[in-house]
Structure 1
Amino acid sequence: MRKLLAATLGVLSAIGGFVDIGDLVAASQAGARFGMGHAWVLLAGVVGICAYAEMAGRIAAVSGRAVFDLVRERLGARVALVNLLASYLVTVLTLAAELGGVALALRLASGLPYLVWVPVAGFAVWLVLWRMRFPVMERVWGLTGLALVVFAVALFALPTDWAGLAASAVHPTAGGFGWGAYWFVAVALFASTVSPYEVVFFSSGGVEERWNAADLADARLSVLVGFPVGGFLALSLVATAAVVFHPTGVTLDRLDQVAEPAALAFGAVGLAVAALAFFAVTFGAALETGLSAAYAAAQYFGWQWGKRVRPREAARFHTVLLVSILLGVLVLLTAVDPVTLTEYMLIVSAVTLPLTYLPILIVANDRTYLGDRVNGRLLNLLGAVFLLLIVAASLAAIPLAITTRMGQ
């Protein structure tokens, strides 16, 4: 049981990365439009994020310092400042999208307009981050997010053509949408699985939990359990959307549509579980992104940081946290559609991915910090191949967004 609980940091990180509002939108749209044709994207994302999360966790455990803390020291203040500005912009946009997801989940449960819930969501996220201890937070929200398994179970209650799903995964087709739209969705889905804040949060969370070299096994377990679980849940969203919507050619643009497969399979109970899952994963991701924004700023400037520290002793860290949440709320109060915001956020995220992942690979090979715990040849090969995918996604994101008019 202790080993399983040790994996909850990875589960929460994965919930925030694989099945936050970005993936609820991107995975469901991928399934509705292209069936299982993007399953390979999720597989690549799981393998890559496991490799880099392992590096980030090992850096935290061996050096006792978070990745962003070392980036400035290793690469210099100017390069790290570019990294910080890009990371903070993407993370705040993501935080706004997650708060919008919380509000949409509450609308799904209550019927009230989502804008009514936006300030409530912002206050609730801030209150949890202010008062709830880190281990409790990761276990409550990480494990509650597993309610998304209702979509995996729904596949057995729906008229699922398993052979057809497998065939569409092995032989992707663009259908009537075109290959441009196919690759746009692939880039958006990829960006949702490897969001930059995931590794910032995971590494900083390891420091929060006071990992050391003796905890490397627990850190790896957290990676190897948490992130594949997140990938499996995301794949379930793709599959249920493929079963319910792909045959009719429906394009999803609302969160209640994402919940429809669970409702068709299990009625009102399925809808209630889906609403709970949507609330849990978006709320958990809002916690993760809020902390990640504050972690990055505090680690760059050398401030005291973390939930393990009393707020009065880390006042600047908590100020950045509060300001980030307020910015997210203000973005939503402009009445921007959270789903549309999510789609644009994923493209911005894709563009900035190399700024997060290249420094991790560099630090993970620095014996000054890791001694003989640096990457081996196999992990470096895997990291390099994945970095090439990240660069390709980064270069393709904006041209695909323009030429396909955001995947239309």
Structure 2
Amino acid sequence: MTERAVDSARPDSDVKQPERPKLLQVLGPGLITGASDDDPSGIATYSQAGAQFGFGLSWVMLFSWPLMCAIQEISARIGRVTGRGIAGNLKRHYPAPVVYSLVTLVIVANVINLGADLGAMGAGLRLLIGGPQLVYVALFGLVTVLLEVFSRYSRYVSILKWLTLSLFAYVGVAFVVKMPWGEVARSLVVPQITFTPAYMTVVVAILGTTISPYLFFWQAEEEVEEVKERDDAKPLERAPEQAPAELARIRVDTYVGMAISNAVALFIILTTAATLHAHGITDIQTSSQAAEALRPIAGRFAFTVFAIGIIGTGLLALPVLAGSSAYALGETLGWHVGLARKPSRAKAFYGAIAVATLLGVLLNYSPIDPIKALFWSAVINGVVAVPVMGMMMHLSSHKEAMGDFKLGRGLKIVGWLATGVMGVAAIGLFATWGK
């Protein structure tokens, strides 16, 4: 019997099956996007929710998770199917003045967020080791730009993946403090909603922090980067045979990434509720204030871990904020964009990253109140999110943009629900303004 005949006679069980990708290989854009959502500004919002209302707002994190998953999966699908980011697709299908206006607002909000996150990181490091906060702000900005511009894309993504581990600092803190888990469970499944201006304002702030436009732009563009970086990958509209594996990967990546993001946010709310709220500390404006307030109540260890987490999540969020701004601007203006490109091949793109980060640094040296600036960033994000999400839903539901990969009924329903919730949140923001 020939060797070929022997091989053909073997049972199917002996035939080597292709290895399934390991979870860490599957996790990428969705994991990094979700983790970057828990930036120092977000930590401040979640800390305020826990300090002001105790466990009463923990239900929002469960409620927002499927909405966040849907809109981020749609963002990723747009990038993977078309080979273009959100801004590139909007430019192809909508009037230029509309796109320019939305992209400008996204960039303004991102720069304010950059400034707030840099300030929080500087304050966090000052709490840990002392020294000049503004010098730390400048150093964090410089390190972020150098890594984003001069690191090879695959290595840089690997760094960002490892930085997501910093999020688990907040999970650890929750198990260090005394936590009434029975009360926590009740608050998760039985919401105690009070229609007061203060309560609704914090709900709107949480939703605006959790579902934010820069996340849409970043995840879509990172799917485009994955196509450029992998020799065998092509946009699904040109290689539909890759769709089953790629769409399954996107779903796992997105759902796991958003689950980690919302779980960490939930643990921040629980920690500050069990410590600060329980001891009558209800007014927390920044993440560093939350860390400092924890020290006399929860001890040195909890304070240190919380402060280290601020720095780690900031290092993760800064490149996402600056990068999403550069992607949005670059695609709108027709530049060569991409972190996989060499700096000499995308000078304007990398220049935009550097300028956005520099402006964020300079905000900390200006007389502008960072708390008020962050409020305006939340307002801008709330205003921009609704039309951007509406246009994304329209694009992803039509054959002209997505070909044979337009959204199925289930994802379309949840996506429009997320858009409607954000619309109500934006209305609520203005309704409670000044109250």
Question: Fold match, TM over 0.5?
Answer: yes
Within 1, Cα distance between the matches of 2:277 and 2:153? 41
The number of aligned residues is: 399
Task: Measure how far apart 1:242 and its partner are.
Answer: 0.7
Within 2, Cα distance between the matches of 1:42 and 1:142? 23
Task: Measure how far apart 1:8 and its partner are.
Answer: 3.1
Say yes or no: does 1:140 pair with 2:168. Answer: no
Q: TM-score, normalised by structure 2?
A: 0.86
Structure 1 stretch displaced more, 324-333 or 227-236: 324-333
Task: Measure how far apart 1:373 and its partner are.
Answer: 1.1
Task: Measure how far apart 1:238 and its partner are.
Answer: 0.3
Q: Which residue of 2 aligns with 1:247?
A: 278
CA contact (8 A) 1:160 1:243 kept: yes
Q: Which residue of 1 aligns with 2:32?
A: 12
Which of 157, 162, 172 matches 2:192? 172
Within 2, Cα distance between the matches of 1:50 and 1:119? 34
Within 2, Cα distance between the matches of 1:57 and 1:65? 10
Which of 51, 56, 77 matches 2:75? 56
Change (3 A) 1:135 1:401: farther
CA contact (8 A) 1:71 1:359 kept: yes
Say yes or no: does 1:181 pair with 2:198. Answer: yes
Q: Which residue of 2 aligns with 1:318?
A: 350
Task: Measure how far apart 1:95 and its partner are.
Answer: 1.7
Counterpart code for 1:187: V
Alignment of 1:186-265 (within 5 A): 186-210=203-227, 212-213=235-236, 214=242, 215-250=246-281, 251-259=283-291
Alignment of 1:270-349 (within 5 A): 270-349=302-381
Which of 356, 361, 377 matches 2:393? 361
Task: Measure how far apart 1:335 and its partner are.
Answer: 4.6
Identity of aligned residues (%): 26
Structure 1 stretch displaced more, 289-298 or 30-39: 30-39
Say yes or no: does 1:161 pair with 2:180. Answer: yes
Within 2, Cα distance between the matches of 1:260 and 1:229? 25
Within 1, Cα distance between the matches of 2:275 and 2:318? 29
Within 2, Cα distance between the matches of 1:262 and 1:332? 25
Counterpart code for 2:267: S
Task: Measure how far apart 1:264 and its partner are.
Answer: 7.3
Say yes or no: does 1:127 pair with 2:132. Answer: no
Q: Which residue of 1 aligns with 2:433?
A: 401
Deviations 1:243-264 (A, max 9, x none): 0011222122343443368767
Task: Measure how far apart 1:192 and its partner are.
Answer: 0.6
Counterpart code for 1:235: L
Q: TM-score, normalised by structure 1?
A: 0.91
Deviations 1:75-108 (A, max 9, x none): 1212211221221111221222222222222222
CA contact (8 A) 2:47 2:287 kept: no
Deviations 1:324-371 (A, max 9, x none): 112111211115454553344223322221132112111111212322
CA contact (8 A) 2:173 2:306 kept: no
Change (3 A) 1:235 1:260: farther
Counterpart code for 2:35: I
Within 2, Cα distance between the matches of 1:288 and 1:332? 19
Which of 394, 402, 406 matches 1:374? 406
Within 2, Cα distance between the matches of 1:119 and 1:147? 21
Task: Measure how far apart 1:275 and its partner are.
Answer: 2.8
Alignment of 1:15-30 (within 5 A): 15-17=35-37, 19-30=38-49
Structure 1 stretch displaced more, 101-110 or 20-29: 101-110
Within 1, Cα distance between the matches of 2:400 and 2:115? 38
Counterpart code for 2:278: P
Task: Measure how far apart 1:304 and its partner are.
Answer: 0.5
Where does structure 2 lack aligned partners over 5 or more consecutive residues?
1-20, 228-232, 237-241
Within 2, Cα distance between the matches of 1:138 and 1:45? 26
Alignment of 1:26-41 (within 5 A): 26-41=45-60
Structure 1 stretch displaced more, 183-192 or 387-396: 387-396
Counterpart code for 1:123: L
Where does structure 1 lack aligned partners over 5 or more consecutive residues?
404-408
Say yes or no: does 1:387 pair with 2:419. Answer: yes
Counterpart code for 1:209: E
Change (3 A) 1:81 1:243: same
Pair member with larger Rg: 2
CA contact (8 A) 1:200 1:296 kept: yes
Deviations 1:280-336 (A, max 9, x none): 111211110000110001111111111111111111112222221121112111154
Within 2, Cα distance between the matches of 1:375 and 1:60? 13
CA contact (8 A) 1:144 1:277 kept: no
Deviations 1:226-279 (A, max 9, x none): 111110000000000110011222122343443368767985444443333211
